[in-house]
Chain A
Amino acid sequence: MALTGLQIYKLLPKTNCKECGVPTCLAFAMKLATKSAELSACPYVTEEAKNELEAASAPPVRLVSIGADGRKIEVGNETVLYRHDKTFYHQPGLVVRVKDTQSADEIKAVADAVCGYCVERVGLSLNVDGVAIENASGDTSAFAKAIEVVGSNANVALVLMSSVPATLDTVMPMVADRRPLLYAADAGNWQAMAEVARKYKSPLAVKVDCGDLSALATLTEDITKAGVTDLMLDPGTRSMVDSLQAMTKIRRLALRKNFRPLGFPMISFPGEGASSPLEEVAAASQHIAKYGGVIVLDHFDPTLIYPLLTLRQNIYTDPQKPIQVKPDVYPIHEPDANSPLLITTNFSLTYFTVAGEVEASGVPAWLLIADSEGLSVLTAWAAGKFDAEKIKKAVQTSGILDKIAHKRLIIPGYVAGMSGEIEEELPGWEIRVGPREAVDLSSYLKSLRS
C-alpha cells in the first residue's frame, strides 16, 4: 500500500540539508508520495528506511519471471480481481508436463511439439510457453537425462519438479542460465530448497496441502527472510471448486489487504483433479480466468491447447480498449477496378474474420473498413455506429472511389434491413446483401464470379 507524505517524512533524516534539490525533508517526502521524485536523490537516507520504503511501494502481486531469452514467462503485477475494473496484465504461462519415467522419445516428442506449436489468431501468434519435467522416478540420473532431452531441443521455459533439494542442486548446472522455476519448497524441505534457489538465482514454487493458506503464508515469510523473493504459490488444492476458492482468497488477500506473504503469482495443475483431457481443459479454463500464473497441463494436443490459448487471449484482452483496426481500404488478392467491394466494421475480430475468409476464397476484393469505434457489426448497428450515414462517409472519404469503376457495395447480412437507407444516402449505388456469417463469404464471393 502506498505511504502518505507524512509517513515517508518520518523515515527521512529530517535535517533539511537541501541536497535532494528541495528545501525540506517534508517537501521531499511529499514529492516521493506523488512519485515525482526518486529516493536516490537523498544521500542520507538509512538502509532501513530504504527497505521499508521499497517494500511499501512494491506491487501487491510480485512480478516473477521464469526462463531467459527465447520464451519467458512473466506473471504477477496484477491490480484487479475483475478484468472489467481495469485489465489483467500478465497472462498465465501454459506449460506441459513430462515425467522422467517416460521414454526419451516420448519426452522429446512432447518437447518438440510444445516448442514448435504456434497458431495465429486476430493477427497475433499464440504459443505454448514451456515444459515441466517431473522427477517421478526419484532417480537423479534419469531426471538429468530428461532435462537434457528437453533442454537440448527447446527454446522454452522450464519447470523442474522434485521435492529433493539435492537432486535439484545436482541438475541445476545443466540449465541454470535458463532460470527454470523450481517446484517445490514445502514445510519439510524449505531451508535446503531456498538455498538451491538462492545459489542459482531461480524462482521457487512453494507448496502446502489442501488450501492451508496460513501454512503457505508462514512458509513464504520464512523463505523470503532466507533471501529468496521470486516465489510462486501452490495452495495444494486440486478439485475445481477448491482451487477456485483458494486462488480467489489468495488474490483477494494480496489486492484488497496488501497481504505480502501471499502477494505472489500462482502455479496450478488442472490435470490432477481431472479424469479426462477434456475435463483438464475445463479446469484449465477456470485457472486462466481465475488467477492462474503458471498452468501445468498433463496433455499436449493441439485440439485442446488451441481453445485454451484462445481463452487466454480473450481474458487478457484489455477491456477498456476494444481491439480496433484502422478504418481504411484493404485490398485482398490484388483487386482491380471491377472487383467486388465489401464493407464491415473496424472491430479487429470482425476485420480479421472477414479478411481471412475473403483471402481463403481466392477472389480479389476490396474490403472497406468503416469506423465503428471498434464495435462488431451487430453491436455497432444497435449503437448507431454503423448506420447508413457512417457507411456513406466511409465510401466517400476512404479513397475507394478512385480505385473502383463500379457502384456496387456488399453489406453484412446482419444489417440487410439498412439497404434501403444506404441506397438513399448513396444515390446510384446498388446495395447487395452479403451473408450473415463470415464463414459463408467464400461461397458467396465465388457465386458472384460465376
Chain B
Amino acid sequence: MPVTVETPTEKWAGKVREITLGATAAEGGTRTSTVTVGGEGTMPFLHFEGETPHRPVVAIEIYDIAPQDWSPILMDYWGDVVNDVVAWAKKAVELGADAIALTLRGAHPEVNDRSPEDSARVVKDVLAAVGVPLIVYGPGAPDKDNEVLVAVAEATAGERLALGLCEQNNYRTIAAACMGSGHIAVARAPIDVNIQKQLNILISDMGLPLDRILMDPTTGALGYGLEYTYSVMERLRLAALQGDAMTQQPMICTAGHEAWRAKESKVGEGVPEAWGDWKERGIAWETVTATSLIEAGADILVMRHPEAVAIVKKTIDQLVAK
C-alpha cells in the first residue's frame, strides 16, 4: 500500500538579521565589492522550510607582520608574502577570499608595539590594495586593542569594516568607535548563549544599530571543544528563529586560528602514526572545523589555509544550491 509522506516543515517567527560588510564609493567607502550575510529563516540549508538569501562567506586571515607562532605548514604555503601585508592581502583575494581578516598583531606590546597611527596606516594600505571588505582585529592585549581600533576606526570612517573584539569586560571603547565611524562591531562571548545575548544587548544599548553587530560565539577547534561551539550556535540560531531579537545577529567563527593551534595541525614530529600526513591533516583539521560550523549556522568563516578555503567554498556552493 503506497504511503504518502508529508514534509515536516517548522514555522518560524523570526529570522537572522542581514548585515553588509564594506561600503562602495556610492555608500561612502572605497570597496569595489561588499558582502551581505544573514537573513536565514530556517535552520541551516533546509530550503524546503525557509530562505537562505545569502551564502556564508570566507574571510582569509592575515597578519600585519610575519606571524611568529603559526604552523610551519601555513608559513610554507604563504612563503614570502607574509613579510608584506599588502602583497599578502592581494594574494589572499586571488585565492578566493570574500573578505580579508587583518590581525594587527604587530601592535602587541610584546611583539613590535606598533603605534595606533602606524597600525591605522597599515589598514589604509590594505584597503588601498584590495577591493573586498575588511575585518580588523586588534593585537589581543585589551588596552592596546582599544587604542589601536579607535585609531583604525577614525582613519577608515565610512568603510564599514568589522572591528573586534568586543568582549564582556571590554566592549565600550570599540563599540563607541564603531558607532562614530560607521563600522561593525564583532561581539565575542565565551561559548555561552546568555552572555552572548547580554553582550549584544549592552552594545546595542550604547546606540550601535543591530545591523552593525556580528556575534562571535568563540570557536572551539575540532577535538578541542568544537561540540560546545556547535551546540551554542544551534541554540542561538533556534532562538533567533523563534523570534528572540537579541540573538538574531549573523555569526562569525575563527575556524582557522583555532584549527591551526591544535597540536594536530601544529606539530609534525613525535606524533602517532595513526595521525597520518601532517600537511594534509592540518588542512583537513581546518576544513572539518569550518564545515561543521557552517552546518551549525556560521555566516562568516575566518580561515587560514587556501586549500581548506577552496574545499569550504565548494561545500558552501553545494549547500546553498537549491
Contact = CB atoms under 8 A, between A and B. Distances in A.
Whether chain B is bound by chain A comes out as yes
B223 A314 contact: yes
Nearest to B282: A303
A218 to B, nearest CB: 5
B281 interface: yes
B314 A301 contact: no
Contacts of B307: 278
Interface in A199-241: 213-214, 216-218, 221-222, 239-241
Contacts of A245: 45-48
B142 to A, nearest CB: 10
Given A83-B231, A307-B284, A439-B267, A239 B2 contact: no
A140 interface: no
Interface residues of B, number: 61
Contacts of B285: 307
B263 A315 contact: no
Interface in A305-340: 305-308, 310-311, 313-315, 317, 319
B230 interface: yes
B89 interface: no
B317 to A, nearest CB: 9
B295 interface: yes
Interface stretch (B3-11, B124-132, B208-216): B3-11
A324 to B, nearest CB: 14
B284 A303 contact: yes
B5 A281 contact: no
A307 B281 contact: yes
Interface string B224-238: 111110110011001
B274 A379 contact: no
Interface string B35-76: 000000001111110000000000000000000000000000
Given A240-B319, A314-B227, A307 B222 contact: yes
B275 A281 contact: no
Contacts of B277: 302-303
B318 A241 contact: yes
A84 B46 CA distance: 19
Contacts of A311: 222, 226, 288, 292
Interface in A361-403: 376, 378-379, 382
Interface stretch (A20-28, A32-40, A48-56, A253-261): A253-261
A118 B274 CA distance: 7
A117 to B, nearest CB: 6
Contacts of A285: 288, 291-292, 295
Contacts of B163: none
B188 to A, nearest CB: 12
A185 to B, nearest CB: 16
A99 to B, nearest CB: 23
B190 A378 contact: yes
A302 B288 contact: no
Interface in B184-243: 190-191, 222-228, 230-231, 234-235, 238
B3 to A, nearest CB: 4
B309 to A, nearest CB: 12
Given A119-B274, A303-B281, A311-B222, A379 B5 contact: no
Given A285-B291, A310-B222, 10 more contacts: A82-B231, A82-B238, A84-B231, A84-B234, A222-B1, A241-B320, A249-B5, A301-B280, A303-B275, A311-B226
12 contacts: A84-B234, A241-B319, A241-B321, A261-B5, A281-B284, A286-B295, A307-B222, A307-B281, A310-B222, A311-B292, A314-B222, A319-B228
A-B pairs with lowest CB-CB distance, top 3:
A303-B276, A302-B276, A119-B274
